[in-house]
Amino acid sequence: MPAKTKLIGPGGQLYGEPQPSSDEASFRVNNTSSAYYGSPYYLLHKDQVLPIPPPRAGAALQLKLDDFVGPQMIAAIQSAGKIVFHSVGDTGAAKVDPQQTVATALANQASVADAMVRDLAGPNSPAFFFHLGDVVYHFGEAQYYYDQFYEPYRLYDRPIFAIPGNHDGSVFGPTSSAPQNPTLQAFLDNFCATSAGPSPDAGGMVRTAMTQPGVYFTLDAPFVSIIGLYSNVLEGPGVISSQKGAFPTVSDVQLGFLQSELLRLKPLRQAGQRAVIVALHHPPLSVDANHGGSTGSQQDLDTVFQAVGLWPDMVLSGHAHLYQRFTQRVNNHRQQIPYLVSGSGGFAASPPQENVGPAPITVGNDTMEIDPIIKFGYLTITCDGRTLTATFNSPADNGTVAVLDTVSVNLKNGLACDHHSRPAQSRSHKKQNFPRKNQVCFTAESAEQEGKKATEVAGQEF
C-alpha cells in the first residue's frame, strides 16, 4: 500500500501512521480476557446495568467535524456537495477458540479495516469513521486497545468517533464486591480525553486520543448530524434510560439529551440543511439469536421522537454480528426510517436465530426488508442534503469489495428505496424452516420483563 500524505487535525490531532506496514500476525498481549467470564465479580454482576459516567465537566455535548479535520477537508466536502463516512461496530479481534486461531481472528478484522483504508484513496474519500461500539472484547480493558484498535486502524487516516458497546463497558474483578476498574474507564481514556495527546494504550502508534465529551454526544458535520447514545452493558437488551424505574441506577439524562438535540436540529432538518441519524450499540430491531432487539430502547426512542415531532432519517446499531435492514413506518406510514444493524466489523460474522425469513416480513410498523447477511463488512454512508444513502460493503478477493445492500432515503419526502440487494445465491447460511409471518418477533423481552431479572449495581463510583 503506497505511502501518502497523512491528515493532521487543526488541533494537532494525528490519525494515520506515516508509512504503510503489514498487518499483525499475533497479539502483542495475549487476549485472555474471556477467562474473566469466570471471575467472581462478573459471575455475580453479569446481569446488572451500570450507571452512565457523566460527560467531561465543561465540555459541550456537540462536536463539530471542522475541529477534527480542518478547513481544507470541509471546503472539499462543500465543493463536492456531499459527505461520505464509514460506520460499523463490533470490530475487536478477540474471537479465539478451538474453531478459530489467533491468525484467523486478526485476519477477519484486518480484512474490514484494510478495505476501509483503501476507500480513503478513492474518488469519494470518507471524512471519518463512526464506530458503533464494542471496540475491544471481551471486557473493556486498556491492555487490548493496541491489538484490537490502534494497530488495525494504523493506516486509517481519518478521525474515529465512537459510542461504547456493552463489552467496552463491561468490568470484572478479583472479588465479588468491586470491579478491578470502573466501567468504561479505558474507553473514556481513549475517546473522551481532555486533550488530543498520545494515548498510553496506543503502543507507539501515532493516533492521538479523541476528545469526545462523553459516552453520548452529537457529531455535527456538513449535511448530517449523528446523535450517539450509550446502551449499557447487558448482552441484551439495550438500556438507554431508567425505563420508568425498571433500571433505577440508570438516569434518564440521555432521554433529555436526545430531546434537546432533536429540538436543536429540527429547524435545520425542516429547512433541508441536514439529515439526522441516531446511533446506539444495541439494535432496537434485530433477529439475531444472541443479540435480539431491545423493546425498551425502541419505546424510549419513539416516545422522544413523538414528543419532539421529529423522527431521524436513519438509525444505526451494531451488537448483532451480521448485517440486517429494517424499515420503521411512522406518521401514518408517510415516513420510512431504515434501521441498519452493522455489527460484523471484525469480531465475528454469526447467523441469526432459526425460524425467521424469508424477507420481507412485517410486524406492526416494522419490516425486515432483506434476509440477514452473514459476512464481515462495513457501511459507507453518503449525504448530499437531498438523499441519505447507506451501502453495506463486504471485503472480496483481490482487494475489492462487494456491495451487498444499498438503501436511500429521500430527505424531502421521507421515503426509502432499495438500489441493490444481495442475490439469493450468495446466501452463506443454511436453509431454514420459516414460520408464518405472525409468528415472527423482531425484539427481545420487554423492559418490564428484563427489569425483573436484572438487579442494578448501587452506588457505583467513577
At residue 50, the pLDDT reads 96
**Secondary structure class of 301 (helix, strand, coil):** helix
Give residue 394's pLDDT band: very low, low, confident or very high (50, 70, 90).
very high
Residue 141, number of CB atoms within 10 A of its CB:
24
Q: What mean pLDDT, rounded, does the chain reach?
A: 88
- pTM of the complete model: 0.91
pLDDT at residue number 357 = 76
Which of the pair, 123 or 92, is modelled with greater confidence?
Answer: 92
Instruction: Kindly state the cell numbers that stand for 384.
Output: 448530499
In sequence order, which residues have a C-beta less than 8 Å from that of residue 202 and are 6 or more positions away? 145, 146, 150, 209
Calpha distance 84→76 (Å, rounded): 11
pLDDT at 397 > cutoff 50: yes
406: enclosing H helix or E strand: strand 401-410
pLDDT at 424 over 80: no
- Say whether pLDDT at 302 is over 90: yes
- Provide the pLDDT for residue 15: 96
Q: Give residue-wise pLDDT tens across range 429-462.
A: 333 322 322 234 455 433 333 333 333 332 222 2
Q: What is the mean pLDDT of residues 253-272?
A: 97
Out of 2-16, 167-181, 346-360, 397-411, pick the least confident. Answer: 2-16
Q: Is the peptide bond before 360 cis (omega within 30 degrees of 0)?
A: yes
Q: Identify the residue with better confidence: 206 or 434.
A: 206
316, 340 contact by CB (below 8 A): yes
The 10s digit of each residue's pLDDT in 56-79 is 999 999 999 999 999 999 999 999
Cα–Cα distances in angstroms (integers) from residue 347 to residues 91, 236, 444, in the given order: 5, 18, 22
245, β-bridge pairs: none
Residue 428 pLDDT: 33
pLDDT at 304 over 80: yes
| Nearest of 274, 237, 232 to residue 253 by alpha carbon | 232
Question: Taking 90 as the threshold, does the pLDDT of residue 288 lie above it?
Answer: no
The SS3 assignment for 95 reads coil
Beta bridge partners of 382: 84, 389
Say which residues have a Cβ less than 8 Å from residue 216's Cβ, sequence separation at least 6. Answer: 52, 55, 61, 163, 228, 229, 230, 254, 257
> Is residue 161 a contact partner of residue 13, using CB atoms and an 8 Å limit?
no
Q: What is the pLDDT of residue 450?
A: 35
The four Cα atoms 88, 62, 232, 209 give a dihedral, to 10 degrees, of 70
Cα–Cα distance between 405 and 370 in angstroms, integer? 9
> Do 332 and 320 contact (CB within 8 A), yes or no?
no
Q: What is the mean pLDDT of residues 32-36?
A: 82
Mean pLDDT of 8-31: 92
% of the chain beyond a pLDDT of 90: 78
State residue 293's pLDDT score: 76
